[in-house]
Structure 1
Amino acid sequence: MGVTFGKVFNSVEQDVVFEVVEATEDENPQEKHWRLDSIPCDNELLSTSGYTESRNTQKSGKRKAFANNGPVATKKRALDPPAMFKAKYRQQEELGPEGFGSVFAGYRKTDNLTVAIKHIPRDKVVLMHKDNNGKQIPMEVAVMLKLAAESERHSAPIDLLDWYDLDQELILVLKRPWPAVDLLFYITAKGGCLEEKEAKIILRQLMDAAIDLQQKHIFHQDIKVENVLIEYHTNGIQVRVTDFGLSCFAKKEDTYQIFMGTHIPPEWHKQREYRAGPSTVYQIGAVLFDMLQNPTFRADMFFLQQRTKWWYSENCNNFLKSCLNKDPEQRLTLQQLRNHLWLR
């Protein structure tokens, strides 16, 4: 999600106006709302005074008789997904484009929790996943649901709070760590490159996140400085991984032919084929390159063709070479890199 989480904005709130449409019995909307918790029953759905109606109505001055004089029964009318979204969240200014969609600032009305609201046009949702019940759901949602179920509360990936699958778009509501900026903004604010010592702190956490994803059989596919979030704490920083729009479930032996990420591994140029592990290692090397060098890493740049700066330590140079080797079989694995001398 990158810079969209950490963009500085003014205090003027900009509301997005939604038209609330009441669903009638004749309508059969295709929109579906999915949440991390169980889908509520009809009598548990959100309702307001504007969405209730009395069964004891009067028409043309005629009153219908009832057997008892107890309280008038009311029927709760379920809100459609756009109205449910509006009832629960307030959307504010746009933070910026991200991947295949746009991201807005916002907050949850019940507790003012800051959130990032990601809008993805439906035709841009390119990867789908079939769940155990045979339902097709967006791959990004499936991956983040798995992460939510199997990760610690304060894990590296950003938390998915809600999602709304509409006719025209997919809306993801994500927890927005604050204060935080993406790694590209962080590097720029530091003058365009980081000291090796600081880069090492960030890379340790990024390596831990990458290994965690691999153990959960998740292939991010687009690790880059824009998709690494630096969250500030009083006792230091926490690295988080964002934007799972190109992610998928992967096994160690799986190979892929279509590459949609940013840092394309050399083997794809040569063989039109790549695997999750070596590609992730290559992308982590590109992130380290961007932290230490002023030029932005490009897909056609290989470390062995670059002039390294004299103040890089020998172990740092070795780490970079191990990540950016043209031959994927010669790159170290994620676990081997985590145990590398440079990260100790």
Structure 2
Amino acid sequence: MEVSTMLLFGELRARLQDDVVSKVVSDSDPNDHKGQEQKACDDDLGFNNELQTSRSERSSEISAEQEEDVRRRKEENMFWRSAMKRAADAGDFPLKYKKHKKIEEGGFGTVFAGVRISDQQPVAIKYLNKSHVDFVSVNINNEVYDVPVEVLMQTKAAPDRESVGLDPAVSLLDWFSLDQDQIVLVMERPNPSEDLYHYVLKNGPLSEKQAKVMVQQVVEALVDLHYKRIFHRDLKLENLLVQSTPSGPRIRIIDFGCACVARPEPFTSVFQGSIIVAPPEFFKSDSYCAGPTSVWQVGALLYELLRSHDFLFTTEEFMWGIMPATRGLSKECRNFLQDCLTLDPKERISLDQLSHHPWFKL
């Protein structure tokens, strides 16, 4: 059942205060790599397990591993409820929001500037074609509803709607299933802001000092996402906003369309993200892990910030040794790039280590 066919959203939200939400996963075609990847993602979230636990499991005799599993299930239950509370009746959309000019258009959707009518808060309104959207199914009181994975990931990234703007990730305010073809996501729109791609295009290559301010915030944001077990997978200039604030530029992460749950096990067969910045291990073995991939993409991002006037980073060219010179950069900055762009993922610096890199202390 599509979310647009829900009869009473108010009743649904009321149910969520007390009812247990569980995940229903359908069998995947063994030849469908995307389905396998999503199923693995679902498995890691624990959606294939019931979220309620018995009293015996809560006894003092349970192991530390069981206690962690109980804690994680409770956390995911709260997360599901939060995501579903953001579902809104399609008929409310024109009453709550007003659409303005187009901001961006891509292969998977179109983003418009807009405002929330009640208080004129700036919002971004993202229209997605359902044929390009991955869904998971949620069982609520034996009713099954399809929810976009992007909704779940963005809700998990910025879970508190009462503190919009405090998280590194842009907050999701509402989402709608308007018809048979369209999903609409309504997000906060930091104002003034622009994506990092256009920021660099307008300002030219950044100085090392300017780039460090940006990259340090990106690394801190990724640490926050990975702590919440979110793997963005598509870190690039276009998916980062530069918000102008009195204290200087602030980086915000957008577009969770390729995101999934971060897990220790490798992802295989399919790279959900911009293939030009996929890590080298994907090209060598068709597999990649969350942490090393995020670190690799940070290195690619830094190269483009520093050399944007004459250089587009691609992993394949890097593997062939086609890279611009790093003359003029500090030793610490060159080491940072080398640490991020180590070809062997086992030797690559970890995300936590990267957050304490000596370059950031200069």
Classify the TM-score, shorter chain: 0.7 to 0.9
Q: Which amino acid aligns with 1:129?
A: V
Do the aligned partners of 1:302 and 1:325 also contact (CA within 8 Å) in 2?
no
2:287 aligns with one of 261, 269, 273: 273
CA distance in structure 2 between the aligned counterparts of 1:112 and 1:124, rounded to whole angstroms: 31
Q: Residue by residue, what CA displacement relative to the aligned partner does 1:206-250 show, whole Å, maximum 9, x if unpaired? A: 000000111111010100011011000112121100000010112
Partners of 2:226 and 2:189 lie apart in 1 by: 24
Letter in 2 for 1:116: A
CA distance in structure 2 between the partners assigned to 1:161 and 1:256 by the alignment:
33
Corresponding residue of 1:128: 135
Per-residue Cα deviation, 1:283-329 (whole angstroms, up to 9, x for no partner): 11111010011312123232754232311111111111111122111
Return the alpha-carbon distance in structure 2 between the equivalents of residues 321 and 258 of structure 1.
26
Which of 40, 44, 48 aligns to 2:10? It is 40
C-alpha displacement of 1:130: 4.1
Q: What is the letter of the counterpart of residue 119 of structure 1?
A: Y
Could you state the TM-score of these two structures normalised by the residue count of structure 1? 0.74
Distance in 1 (CA, whole Å) between partners of 2:271 and 2:158 is: 26
Which residue of 75, 100, 124 maps to 1:92?
100
Distance 1:225 1:270 in 2: 25
Q: How does 1:42-191 map to 2 (within 5 A)?
A: 81-98=89-106, 100-125=108-133, 127-131=134-138, 133=140, 135-149=145-159, 153=164, 154-165=166-177, 166-191=179-204
Q: CA–CA distance in 1 between the matches of 2:2 and 2:288?
A: 41
Q: Following the alignment from structure 1 to structure 2, what is the Cα–Cα distance between the partners of residues 101 and 284?
A: 25
1:292/1:29 CA distance change after superposition, 3 Å = closer
Partner SS for 1:330: coil
Paired with 1:313 and 1:194, the residues of 2 have a C-alpha distance of 14
Gaps in structure 2 of 5+ consecutive residues: 15-87
Count of residues paired in the alignment: 276
Partner of 2:346: 329
Query: Residues 146-192 of structure 1, C-alpha deviation per residue, up to 9 Å, x if partnerless?
Result: 2232696411101100001242111000110010011111111222x
Within 2, Cα distance between the matches of 1:30 and 1:222? 27
Tell me which amino acid in the other structure corresponds to 1:31: S
How large is the RMSD of aligned CA atoms in angstroms? 2.5
Kindly indicate whether the alpha-carbon contact (under 8 Å) linking 2:4 and 2:89 is maintained by their aligned counterparts in 1.
yes
Q: How does 1:4-15 map to 2 (within 5 A)?
A: none
Match of 2:327 among 290, 293, 310: 310
For structure 1, which segment, 151-160 or 311-320, has the greater mean C-alpha deviation from structure 2 after superposition? 151-160
Whether the aligned pair in 2 keeps the contact of 1:179 and 1:232 (CA below 8 Å) is: yes
Q: TM-score, normalised by structure 2?
A: 0.71
What's the % identity of the aligned pairs? 34
3-state SS of 1:123 partner: helix
Q: Distance in 1 between matches of 2:3 and 2:191?
A: 35
Which has the larger displacement, 112-121 or 321-330? 321-330
Q: 1:78-123, CA deviations, whole angstroms, 9 ceiling, x for partnerless residues?
A: xx94431011111112112145100011111100011110000110
CA distance in 2, matches of 1:234, 1:311: 30
Aligned residue in 2 for 1:286: 300
Q: CA deviation at 1:131?
A: 4.4
Q: Structure 1's 150 and 211: CA in aligned 2 closer, same or farther, altered over 3 A?
A: farther
Pairing partner for 1:239 from 246, 251, 262? 251
3-state secondary structure, aligned to 1:259? coil
CA–CA distance in structure 1, aligned partners of residues 340 and 185 of structure 2: 33
1:210-249 equivalences in 2 (<5 Å): 210-249=222-261
Deviation at 1:273, TM superposition (A): 0.8
Change (3 A) 1:32 1:321: farther
Indicate if the aligned counterparts of 1:184 and 1:226 stay in contact, CA closer than 8 A.
yes
The answer to which of 135-144 and 108-117 deviates more is 135-144
Q: 1:195 to 1:110 in 2, by over 3 A?
A: same
Larger relative contact order (CA 8 Å, sep ≥ 6): 1
Counterpart of 2:49 in structure 1 is: none
In structure 1, distance between residues paired with 2:136 and 2:2: 22
8 Å CA contact 2:2–2:145 kept in 1: the answer is: no
Structure richer in helix, relative to its length:
2
* Deviations 1:23-58 (CA, angstroms, capped at 9, x unpaired): xxxxx9972579xxx94249x9xxxxxxxxxxxxxx
2:218 corresponds to 1:206 = yes
- Quick check: which has more Rg, 1 or 2? 1
Q: CA–CA distance in 1 between the matches of 2:210 and 2:152?
A: 34
Structure-2 change in CA distance of 1:168 and 1:189 (3 Å): same
